Amino acid sequence: MTQQITHEGLDEVVQQSPHKWVYLFSEGNAKMRDLLGGKGAGVAEMTNAGLPVPPGFTITTEACNTYYEADKQFPQGMWQQALEALKIVEQQTDKGFGKKENPLLVSVRSGAKFSMPGMMDTVLNLGINDETVQGLVALTGNERFAYDAYRRFIQMFSKTVLNADPHAFEQVLERYKKEANIKSDAEIPAAALKQLVVEFKQIAEHQSGHPFPTDVYEQLHKAIEAVFSSWNNKRAIDYRNFNKIPHHLGTAVNVQSMVFGNMGNDSGTGVAFTRSPTTGEKQLYGEYLLNAQGEDVVAGTRTPSKIERLQEELPHVYQQFQQTAERLERHYRDMQDLEFTVEKGRLYMLQTRSGKRNAQAAVKVAIDMVAEGLIDKQEAVKRVEPVQVYHLLLPRFDEEEKKKATDAGRLLAKGLNASPGAAYGKAVFDADRAEEMGKAKIPVVLVRPETSPDDVHGMLVAKGVLTARGGATSHAAVVARGLGLPCVAGTEGIRVDEAERLFRVIGTDKVIREGDEISIDGASGEIFAGTIPTVAPDFDKEVDLKKLLSWADSYRRLQVWANADYPRDAKRAIDFGAEGIGLCRTEHMFMEQERLPIVRKMILAKTKQERQAALDQLLPFQRSDFKGIFETMINPKVGEGYPVVIRLIDPPLHEFLPSYEEVLVEVTKLEMSGADPQQLKEKRELLETVDNMREQNPMLGLRGCRLGLIFPEINVMQTRAILEAALELAKEGKKIQPKIMIPLVSHANELKEVRRQLEAVAKEVAGEAGSAIEYKFGTMIELPRAALLADQLAPVADFFSFGTNDLTQTTFGISRDDADRTFLLRYVEGLEEPGLKEKVRIFPTHPFQVVDREGVGQLVRMAVEKGRKAKEHLELGICGEHGGDPDSIEFFHMIGMDYVSCSPFRVPIARLAAAQAALSHQEQDK
């Protein structure tokens, strides 16, 4: 009968409507993710592949966006198309929606283009009421199953659609279990479930102010509205902001005929991955529950069984599922996240999508799939997200310190190792407080009985997540892996008391209260009292990652350099694959304890001779500093040094002196005590100097090249130190590539004069040594005027390095030192306006983290074009924080930069992001 069904009815309705809003599963395919969302495209592909998929239809993402544009009204013709599609589903299932005899129940699920696990809403068992429940009883002969489905529907519909408080239902449910002396929902007898249905409807009516809807079409209408509306709930918006998912995509709605995993012990439901999402190992990884529905597994309210056990309990189902999983992975050429239900021994597939995985798994799966011939190296490079590389290089607990903590009795309990990584912080038992403390830069570990999607805003700022219940596929585990957060789930050795904000360790008198420090190891599942020191990972042992990055290197055009001020930083950068130093800040060397007194002596000098004497003392220190960095940057394979860009002193000199307020307090104390007249005289002189050097706006004051023009002897000393260090190594047969960078230039005359001074020094050093060293002079482009007039600067420079931190600051007119605290974070996260349900976001991204392409980016592009027009082979790089941001790296690739420079730990990220940018634009150019 099913084979004879046609889509004529739906086609006629579509022809009468201005647009097609609804697609049967048989009408879609995997390439329609933009329109049908990931879930809709997945079930369509499985349907067309002949897999056992319950029939249904998808309402498009376009319908969702039109719903919002029309002030939350369904698009014209959409409801009629949905009703016609529902009729076809009735034919396909031989069931009737709202009919007492053989009733059809459906699920209503969200499904955006990009996976957002648990962030939007779902309603199961829709279509049940006092009449159809009797039909279910007659059909199945199982009164308990029917009323369990009914109470589940009322509970879920009330929370999702009617915005009722879920705790009110949970309290009643717990009361029933306590009175019956049972532990699980599955043990509640039919008679009690009947009474629960009555009480649940009363709670729903009390909280919503309206009788619980019994008209099944009203239920469906309201559920579709609720799913559309959930696209813009707080947790969904927070999740998209964190994962940089565009807000304009909208969600699809999938309406699918229900199959039931709660019909007895030959029924069940589960979630599984075709490979381990924590290690990447090629084995089924998942969990299931017998006599349960889908939300029981992902909600974490019951701790499920591992998928391997299904082979013992339902062997024929396990074998079929294993074959289906392998088939889907080969078809999609990627690790799949599968949802399934078993009804009376029959397997049904409810979902397939690309599986969320942590960093270790992402890299291993990509490498292994190349070896298996499923994908090529280019695809492997594109598959791994740059942020996952960052997660792989996060610190881990020191094993020796863990052993000491264990021996000291600080090991509290052990749960499931749901998402690897080390985290420590204050235990917090509420997502709102976690968000508040996290934003205040207080490290927190979010502790919950089990997490729900409503906790995601707390998870986004937490260092780790700990739950008492739930498994490796629970909401907490899935979201934590996606965020790169350590997570320990299903810790049955603790009992969480939300009301008292504490957890107790079962079998002991140990109690952890809110604010106490705890440490969790997501790799082992261990929980400790107090903090445990961490250690940096050994990059050399990350064999798979190094292989992936070597592939990435073969595709990228941009070179990746690093910002490093000391030899140890330079060594780390080289280990991570850096090809040069794009920014060495010399002022950091002045802050060393043995040098700071000499620097202050130089600043406080009353004559040029006194200043020069202090600089002569500093010269050997600086020469040794630069020699150490040059030596570290020598490539042992060729005996030649990587390029090193050294920026001459940039900050105002007062930054090397005590603050005015600090000296004023010291002077006042000495005046009041009268103890040391000589010291009082010196402190007064220091106070006068500090006062004279104070500026209202020091970031735009006497700093950068201006400092070198007013006090040229400082630049002279630094240039001499750089070139003498290079010459010493050259005499040892080591070729060095020093590049001297002049900061904060706004006028070509500044650059001309500083270059004239420094070339004279270079000539003098060469004469003294009897040989010259090859070097380059360049400038930072960090002021709008410099970018606008780059064609005037280029003839005087050998290279440009874009200081996008200051360029962003001076383009926006925003202080990067103060803005986050005062207004910038609120601009990015959204302003709360009275009368508006949603926050108003002023900036789409944080401009100091992601380059502002429209404003700052336009200045950079202009400077690149003007600079290269004036000097064809002008070397161009960027050394601001944006050099390690994947989105910014793509932009720098597009406009023709030669290199990006970032902090050493972000070098692997930049290598991968640069390759992905090259591959992406290579495809676009075809």
Annotated catalytic sites, by residue?
475, 879
- Positions of E strands within 231-303: 251-257, 268-273, 285-290
How far is the C-alpha of 798 from the C-alpha of 896, rounded, in Å? 17
630 contacts 725 by C-beta, under 8 angstroms: yes
- Kindly give the pairing relationship between strand 735-742 and strand 776-781: parallel
Residue the block writes with tokens 């719903």: 67
How far is the C-alpha of 163 from the C-alpha of 236, rounded, in Å? 16
Residue 562, CA distances (Å) to 559, 643, 883, 904 in order? 10, 11, 9, 6
DSSP string across 790-837: HHHHGGG-SEEEE-HHHHHHHHHT--TTTHIIIIIHHHHH-B--TT-S
3-state secondary structure at position 412: strand
How far is the C-alpha of 242 from the C-alpha of 486, rounded, in Å? 17
Residue 809, CA distances (Å) to 709, 841, 852 in order? 23, 20, 11
- Which residues, 6 or more positions from 902, have their beta carbon under 8 angstroms from its beta carbon? 560, 561, 562, 563, 881, 883, 884, 909, 910
Residue the block writes with tokens 């409810």: 350
- Which residues, 6 or more positions from 770, have their beta carbon under 8 angstroms from its beta carbon? none
Give, rounded to a whole angstrom, the gap between the first and last alpha carbons of the chain. 47
Ramachandran class of 454: left when φ > 0, alpha when ψ lies in -120 to 50, beta otherwise: alpha
> What is the Cα 903 distance to its own chain's centre?
18
3-state secondary structure at position 520: strand
Residues in the chain: 926
CB atoms within 10 A of CB 794: 23
How far is the C-alpha of 827 from the C-alpha of 841, rounded, in Å? 6
How far is the C-alpha of 377 from the C-alpha of 370, rounded, in Å? 6
DSSP string across 305-353: EEGGGHHHHSHHHHHHHHHHHHHHHHHHTS-EEEEEEEETTEEEEEEEE
> What is the Cα 599 distance to its own chain's centre?
42
- Which residues, 6 or more positions from 182, have their beta carbon under 8 angstroms from its beta carbon? 188
The closest of 805, 800, 730, 794 to 765, measured between CA atoms, is 730
- Which residues, 6 or more positions from 609, have their beta carbon under 8 angstroms from its beta carbon? none
Torsion of CA 250, 256, 262, 267, to 10 degrees: -110
How far is the C-alpha of 860 from the C-alpha of 616, rounded, in Å? 39
